[in-house]
A and B are shown apart, each in its own frame.
Chain A
Amino acid sequence: MPNWTLFGLAHGTATTDWPAAGPDAGQEGVLGMPRFAPEKCQSGCRECVEVCVTQALSIHPDDPARLNLDYGRCIACQLCVEACPTEALTASGNWAYAVRERADLHWQQALHTTEAKQLRNAVSRTFRSSLHIRHVDAGSCNGCESELQALNNPFYNLHRLGIFFTASPRFADLLLVTGSVTYAMREPLLAAYEAMAEPRWVLAAGTCAVSGGVAAGGYSSGQGLEGLLPVDVWLPGCPPNPAALIHALLVLLERAPPKVKGGRHE
């Protein structure tokens, strides 16, 4: 009969020091959202718009020479990067796209100098080092769940950050939603939110929860959380990797700043 405790101890520490110390977020080589360099964009070219499955890229309604880029719809499929003839869109390792305002996922020609939005309910000190999450899958492909489940593996070990998943929405501070919100999951999702005590927060995790993603529209799929729940943090990604999820949780808790403003990753 094997001694599992000794077996585990013999392996030593598997947990990363990131983000407190050390650079190893475990995402070496992982591609994120494409980087956009508008000065290289060739006017009148529609190559990227044609291949974009989720309409993250579109022609600007006011100016046909300009591109509209919404990272909230981007599934990081890299098709636009491959299609772009002038390298205006290039592959990047930028995956930490958590923002507090949905508008910050839209590429903006000029950066506005407005103050970063304060959280709807400022997260008090009490919650900053202890957060309980109720996850609701509102119609995902299971990719987001796969990465959420990874948060409790020995490498990320989410508990070390004082963040826990909980079964009952009554005990939860944060509703973490994945999926496009199908017609059948809409009611259970809203019921879970209603069951939560105040103060409560909402995180839209993954491009489907932000905008509907590849499933948006159609006869049974929704368009994500916009207009449905008061979202505090938006995190696009397909799926967001575990480090991006941790970063989003820390952004919510005001323990890390967002890295994206006006669609630009720092």
Chain B
Amino acid sequence: MNAARHAAVQPSDLRERCRQLLANGGSMHMAWAWFPKPGAPQVLYLAAEGPRAPLQVWRCDASNGSLPSLSTIAPSLSWYEREISDLCGVRFDGHPKPEPLVLQEGAAPVCPPLAPDYPPDSPMSFTRAPIQIPFVVGKDVQELPFGPVRADVMESAQFLFFYLGEHILHYQPRLFFKHRGMEKRFERLACGAGAVLAERVSGTGSVAHTLAYCQAVEQACGCAVPPRAQAVRVLLAELERLYNHLHYFGHLADTTTLKVGNAEGKWLEEKVKQLNGRLTGSRLLRNIVVPGGLRTDVTPPAGLSSSLESLREETAGYLAKLAETNSYLDRLITTGELTAAGAWEHGATGPVARASGIDQDLRRDHGYALYPQLRFPIPTRKAGDANARAQVRAEEILSSFGLIDEVLQTMPGGAIRNAPKPVPKAEGLGWAESPRGALFYAVHLDTDGRLARVKIGSPSFANWRVFQYTVRDSNMMDYAINEASFGLTVAGCDR
């Protein structure tokens, strides 16, 4: 992982080192484990001394199967540690909430599923067991279990509400019903095939996922991507941001019962998806990006710039209209407030973090593809409410149109791929600022240069954890609006 600084850390030094990093304004991005040797898990931490400081990877051998928990110092690591316990069998001593997270109560794998000795393609045994959550008991307190099958076309997840009248006393999201074990599916694949899998981890983040994955492989194998491929990658990534953010506004308008606003947002999203289809053959922009560059060239057809320009005007008019609709704004302002301190401490990312005043964006802070050569604004807000989150996304839409235009104007020619040669036992770290925030891929290759372990650190995993803190003590009638304003996916979180 040549782009990040590496350090071997002794388990006994771990807590102090983490405490110091946070005291100096640093943050812990994610943690994952893998098995360099069977039966000997190693835990890796991704840290940084500040938003723009170089990334650091700390390695810590969990030789006796346990490590000190960092969750009380860095709450953003809490879910990562629980996930490592579930899937790699490492215990974290002193974890404030050590119960299973990714695996449901009653799931009983014969050994940790990500261990190399887990029998291939054998399903876990599973008998649903009672769930372990804090219950709220009191006069007139109502319990509402909602999901995992929810109304309309929605991703599956369960939410438990304890409420009194309209007032939510306690809220517990239960995710990971959709856990497909995608990280395990990468194992033993060739690096090229992994790109196809990465596109199908979180469908509406296909480009960001495959981009982060490919950049991790390219780093591991020391491969330079040709300039034309770098430019096309930015084009695809910004088209993905466009259709996702437009979907977001359509959905947000729906939750505030603004029917025409909903239809208009969905219609604009459809126009971008149709444009994606004409440009790449895939409405979700799949099957183009590959380690080393692109699989097929993307040739912008004549008239693309002008159709994008009229789409930009239409979108700007739509967003301006939303911004002056009182019935819509009334439902957003002060809904689901997330303070800057809360967003930072719990590791919020993407537009959610930027709406709470945290000025970070991987496209600028740790530039990749063609981004270092492009200038674009990173919008932020201080209010941290649903309206601030919408405002940040609205500005990002307009900035994406600008980026697309600039890339189309200056599209370099030349080769589209410089295929990497797999380097045995190499490791790489890749990242992308997806429409939902910071996305990381860590890739470990085996002695044959095939994938031994792929870790996906997704923005929805980070933001779902943060989201629950904005629900407590809020109103039932604001819940759907608040959830929509976070713009989360379940697939990205559950993987």
Identify the A interface with B (CB < 8 A): 1-2, 4-5, 7-8, 11, 14, 26-31, 51, 53, 75-79, 82, 91, 135-150, 152-156, 165, 167, 169, 179-180, 182-185, 187-189, 192, 213-215, 217-222, 238-239, 241
Contact = CB atoms under 8 A, between A and B. Distances in A.
A30 B196 contact: no
Nearest to B156: A137
Given A29-B278, A142-B203, A155 B154 contact: no
A75 B203 contact: no
Nearest to A179: B178
A160 B160 CA distance: 36
A77 B281 CA distance: 10
Given A146-B203, A182-B179, A29 B281 contact: yes
Contact of A136 (B118, B156, B181): B156
Nearest to A153: B266
Given A29-B281, A220-B179, A148 B325 contact: no
Contacts of A14: 267
Of A7, A29, A213, A238, most B-chain CB atoms within 10 Å: A29
28 contacts: A4-B258, A11-B264, A14-B267, A28-B274, A28-B277, A53-B189, A77-B196, A139-B156, A139-B177, A140-B155, A140-B491, A142-B155, A142-B491, A142-B492, A143-B204, A153-B270, A182-B178, A182-B180, A183-B104, A183-B107, A184-B148, A187-B128, A214-B182, A215-B180, A219-B123, A220-B113, A220-B179, A221-B185
Given A145-B203, A189-B149, 11 more contacts: A2-B321, A5-B260, A8-B263, A30-B282, A139-B179, A140-B155, A142-B203, A146-B203, A184-B178, A219-B123, A220-B103
Interface string B287-308: 1000000011000000000000
Interface in B89-136: 103-104, 107, 109, 113, 118, 121-124, 126, 128
B151 A167 contact: yes
B180 A218 contact: yes
B206 interface: yes
Of B153, B176, B266, B277, most A-chain CB atoms within 10 Å: B153
A2 B156 contact: no
B277 A82 contact: no
Contact of A148 (B153, B201, B273): B153
B203 A91 contact: no
Contact of B284 (A136, A182, A213, A239): A239
The dominant DSSP class at the B interface is loop
Given A53-B197, A77-B287, A188 B295 contact: no
B325 A1 contact: yes
B459 interface: no
A144 B156 CA distance: 13
A2 B317 CA distance: 11
The dominant DSSP class at the A interface is loop
A51 B153 contact: no
Contact of A146 (B103, B179, B204, B490): B204
A148 B148 CA distance: 18
B457 interface: no
A244 to B, nearest CB: 11
A217 B200 CA distance: 15
Nearest to B177: A184
B418 to A, nearest CB: 17
B113 A213 contact: no
Contact of B200 (A11, A143, A182, A219): A143
A153 B181 CA distance: 32
A155 B272 CA distance: 12
Interface string B245-265: 001001000000011110110
Contact of B122 (A139, A184, A219): A219
B297 to A, nearest CB: 12
Nearest to A222: B123
Nearest to A146: B204
B16 interface: no
Contact of A141 (B128, B189, B201): B201
Contact of A155 (B107, B258, B270, B492): B270
A29 B295 CA distance: 17
A218 B196 contact: no
A22 to B, nearest CB: 15
Of B270, B324, B326, most A-chain CB atoms within 10 Å: B270
B184 interface: yes
Contacts of A217: 121
Given A29-B281, A142-B204, A221-B180, A185 B148 contact: yes
B109 A214 contact: no
Contact of A7 (B193, B206, B321): B321
B278 A1 contact: no
Nearest to A6: B260
B354 interface: no
Nearest to A1: B326
B193 A79 contact: yes
Contact of B196 (A79, A139, A154): A79
B196 A153 contact: no
Contacts of B140: none
Contacts of B279: 29
Contacts of B273: 150
Contacts of B201: 141
B203 A141 contact: yes
B178 A143 contact: no
Interface string B13-42: 000000000000000000000000000000
Contacts of B247: 146, 149
A170 to B, nearest CB: 13
Given A137-B154, A185-B156, A153 B269 contact: yes
A31 B122 CA distance: 34
A7 to B, nearest CB: 6
